[in-house]
Structure 1
């Protein structure tokens, strides 16, 4: 089948490579906004002499429509493409337009299902392949796979792994689409998960358990630069933690540093009176390990806050 792929991230590259090797890749569509990942996609297209077009929303029914009519693809595949495709585009390929969504539908519809899957401490991820209609993450279910999430797996690692698994799926999907009378189930209506906002990304030391905080940090790495907290009056982002055992720790408020030295790093108390070791943190000045923070002078009994309203501390650089 002649296939055109709509994508906007490096997660689409394994799919592109598999379709190219099978001689099914006819064209690539990426958004007009230039960033590092779609520059890599463009480089792939140039190297392999695959037609590519950049479009913005205003060009979907004009420039893009004419380009697709000229190519006459049998099917469209979408992965991480940000624009809702109008019916005029969906109707061009004989076998429809198919989206690869990294979440179970309708439970995890929306632009970033992996954030919510990890934040909510799910143990399973899903690759949902569905025929698209004029509503985001809706239409008819074609294929679905269930994948176990590794302990400690973060947003970037999980997304990359799902993209590699997705690259093995198109052959099965194309065979299903070729059936004389396919019997695909309509996806029920569901509430779209929103993009995470500042509150969603901020650690609530007083109420979140150690496991919940670790899950939020994994869900925020690397796309959101880590989970947000405040220290010495500045916003910082924690990118990696691990459970820690502390004996004879002083019982302080959640968010308090109960251990700090250059050899073992920094341990923080959580609301369930368990402890997390800070492995990697992003401050206004640098990315630092917990060991480095302790060596630079962060001390026992200092505290991470859930908001930037603390009056106890004077705003200053984290680097002493």
Structure 2
């Protein structure tokens, strides 16, 4: 089977590597090199790095819809299938119609729930206990194509968006290979999505990380987990941004106080009052400083039980 692969971030890498082992990957399309990291250095995408390692030709069109030359090259290749995973661009109908077996997408949710750009993060933020990956035949809608295979993944209490991302990327590779083997044998199921059951995982922005201490302890902890490693949950301490990287909901006790108030310092962790219950903050990063356990943070910063987080002065 002749495969064209379209993808960009780390999430797509295990799938590309699995495809290279099993099939003839003739070309990779990925996003143009972008400035990344603290140094803002122009860097190739993780998918491009893998493609170059295996000497696979790479195309990086800025806008696929407007690149007639790229679309013409795809037609000349006559791929049996185009595999798409976190590519970062919408495919026009002209591209969808090129491959013999269609364009197959690997999506990080149990569709039709969490269509859209941030399904992994949103599933944790919403307090879900189960998620998964879905393969589907792509159409012109946003994650609306007919479903092929699904595999469930448990969301553990200690999972962050980062840890869940890593587990799902590996499962996604397996499900994609299983899908292609069924397609080759004309045995792939095809199930329409029920639009009435759909939800959307809208793209995340930095402002989404602001902690509203009036919410419940579970909601706040889910936000912290769901935004780790990006864009990160944050509050304010003495007018400075304080990122919160690790926290747990406290159920064994409650203490009176204002939402956002540090009501206790227990075993070198900050106990903070919320709209319902308490949150134990374990790992923080004050503006201009490194990430560290609260124990280390308290060696160089004074807080007490009158301190209220979230006040931006």
- TM-score scaled by length of structure 2: 0.88
**Structure-2 separation of matches of 1:126 and 1:245:** 29
Q: Residue deviations 1:56-80, cap 9 Å, x none?
A: 1155551321221232211011111
- CA positional deviation for 1:4: 1.3
Gaps of 5+ in 1: 309-314, 316-320
- CA positional deviation for 1:136: 1.2
| Residue among 274, 281, 284 paired with 2:285 | 281
The reply on whether 1:213 has 2:220 as its aligned counterpart is yes
Cα distance, 1:110–1:40 mapped onto 2, change above 3 Å:
closer
**Structure-1 separation of matches of 2:136 and 2:154:** 21
Correspondences of 1:143-182 after superposition (within 5 Å):
143-180=149-186
- CA positional deviation for 1:148: 0.7
| Residue among 127, 136, 140 paired with 2:146 | 140
Cα distance, 1:271–1:260 mapped onto 2, change above 3 Å:
same
The reply on whether 1:257 has 2:265 as its aligned counterpart is no
The reply on whether 1:80 has 2:86 as its aligned counterpart is yes
Partner SS state of residue 139, structure 2: coil
Q: Residue deviations 1:33-70, cap 9 Å, x none?
A: 42568433222222211111111115555132122123
The reply on whether 1:195 has 2:203 as its aligned counterpart is yes
Q: Residue deviations 1:156-185, cap 9 Å, x none?
A: 110111001111123321133235485512
Corresponding residue of 2:23: 23
**Structure-2 separation of matches of 1:295 and 1:270:** 25
Partner SS state of residue 304, structure 1: coil
CA contact (8 A) 2:65 2:91 kept: no
Cα distance, 1:110–1:292 mapped onto 2, change above 3 Å:
same
- Matched positions, count: 304
The reply on whether 1:304 has 2:309 as its aligned counterpart is yes
Cα distance, 1:20–1:144 mapped onto 2, change above 3 Å:
same
Correspondences of 1:68-107 after superposition (within 5 Å):
68-107=74-113
Cα distance, 1:167–1:181 mapped onto 2, change above 3 Å:
closer
**Structure-2 separation of matches of 1:273 and 1:89:** 52
**Structure-1 separation of matches of 2:284 and 2:184:** 49
- CA positional deviation for 1:210: 1.6
Corresponding residue of 1:318: none
Cα distance, 1:169–1:14 mapped onto 2, change above 3 Å:
same
**Structure-2 separation of matches of 1:255 and 1:63:** 56
Partner SS state of residue 127, structure 1: strand
Q: Residue deviations 1:55-114, cap 9 Å, x none?
A: 111555513212212322110111111111001001111000011110122221110011
CA contact (8 A) 1:236 1:284 kept: no
Cα distance, 1:83–1:64 mapped onto 2, change above 3 Å:
same
Partner SS state of residue 115, structure 2: coil
CA contact (8 A) 2:131 2:155 kept: yes
Cα distance, 1:21–1:304 mapped onto 2, change above 3 Å:
same
**Structure-2 separation of matches of 1:246 and 1:103:** 33
Correspondences of 1:124-139 after superposition (within 5 Å):
124-139=130-145
